[in-house]
Amino acid sequence: MKIIRAENAGFCFGVDKAVKSAFNLNAEEIKGNIYTIGELIHNQQVIDALEKKGIKVLDSYDTLKEGDCVIIRAHGVGENVYEELNKRGVKIIDATCPYVKRIHQIVRKKSEEGYDIVIFGDPKHPEVIGINGWCKGNALIITDESQVEELSPGNNKVAVVAQTTSKGAKYDKICELLKKKFAFVLKFDTICSATVRRQTEAHELSRKVDAMIVIGGRNSSNTQKLYQICKENCSETYLVENKDELPLFKKNVNTIGITAGASTPESVIKEVIFHMQDMMNGHE
């Protein structure tokens, strides 16, 4: 049995930056408590390690006091959150992914210029909620083509951005449909280049193998999309969060592909691969 690992698997630049920002923080220099707004990344092992370091997820702004420290995660937050934190006099460590930061700037600028903002993405995802917070929560959030079909045509100026982990082909379709509805549609390419490489590689790898393993959190948007892409090409595709969730492979499985979401630590990927090798050796 042969294991083929995708080159672009595991932490992306933005997540790596956020995790290092948290773990390199010198707690002795902070007068109060250290919090993150929401889970720093979609990985329980990392969250557990942060808790051991004394970094907790913020439950309410009301618990904050002057001298506390708040880490803004890679997903980013809306403009109102910065205002709230500054009002309370806390130290802010901004670990927002630079790709997401760019979307914030686009949305704010275009909104001020009189454009209606359309976001292609999951309305419940923290990244999308944060982006919407830079146009005062007035964006139209689209998840699929049918929502565009239902819109009434208009002479509006529309600026369109996508959640960084979106599927490119679907984003292109959404934008083409929007152009038929509105007089002027300005599309911004905001899908993260690392996401594009990861998804393209997963697509190609899943077409060549007998089984595919996608490693990552089930609540991770980019991991779910990797799973969907692989499943379309390879029926024997499995989403696992760690080595203990690996399936028993069928005897006719000779090649297994491995990819991993942007929030999956290298240590977890290696554990899964080592465990698969042990399973193969035991089988033989």
Q: Helix crossing, 44-52 with 13-23: angle to 10°? A: 20
Clarify whether 245 is annotated catalytic.
no
pLDDT at 182: 95
Residue 28, pLDDT above cutoff 80 = no
pLDDT, tens digit, for every residue of 212-245?
999 999 988 889 999 999 999 999 999 999 999 9
pLDDT (0 to 100) of residue 284: 44
In degrees, rounded to 5, the angle at the alpha carbon of residue 238 between the alpha carbons of residues 236 and 243 is 130
Average pLDDT, the chain: 93
> Which residues are within 8 A (CB) of 281 and not within 5 positions of it... i.e. 6 or more apart?
none
Q: Is the pLDDT of residue 283 over 80?
A: no
Q: Quick one: CA torsion of 123, 127, 132, 134, rounded to 10 degrees?
A: 180
55 closest CA partner among 95, 26, 18, 22:
22
Residues 36-42 have a mean pLDDT of 89
HEC string for the chain: CEEEECCCCCCCHHHHHHHHHHHCCCHHHCCCCEEECCCCCCCHHHHHHHHHCCEEECCCHHHCCCCCEEEECCCCCCHHHHHHHHHCCCEEEECCCHHHHHHHHHHHHHHHCCCEEEEECCCCCHHHHHHHCCCCCCCEEECCHHHHHCCCCEEEEEEEEECCCCCHHHHHHHHHHHHHHEEEEEECCCCCHHHHHHHHHHHHHHCCCCEEEEECCCCCHHHHHHHHHHHHHCCCEEEECCHHHCCCCCCCCCEEEEEECCCCCHHHHHHHHHHHHHHHHHHC
Q: What tens digit of pLDDT does each residue of 110-153 get?
A: 999 999 999 999 999 999 999 999 999 999 999 999 999 999 99
Q: Report the alpha-carbon distance of residue 201 to residue 104 in Å, rounded.
A: 28
pLDDT band at 282 (very low <50, low <70, confident <90, very high): low
**Do the beta carbons of residue 251 and residue 189 sit within 8 Å?**
no
C-alpha to C-alpha distance for 238 and 66, rounded to whole angstroms: 46
pTM: 0.86
Place of tokens 């980013």: 76
Which residue in the list 127, 201, 236, 241 is annotated as catalytic? 127
Tokens for 198, please give them: 């990861």
| Axis-axis angle for helices 13-23, 98-112 (nearest 10) | 110
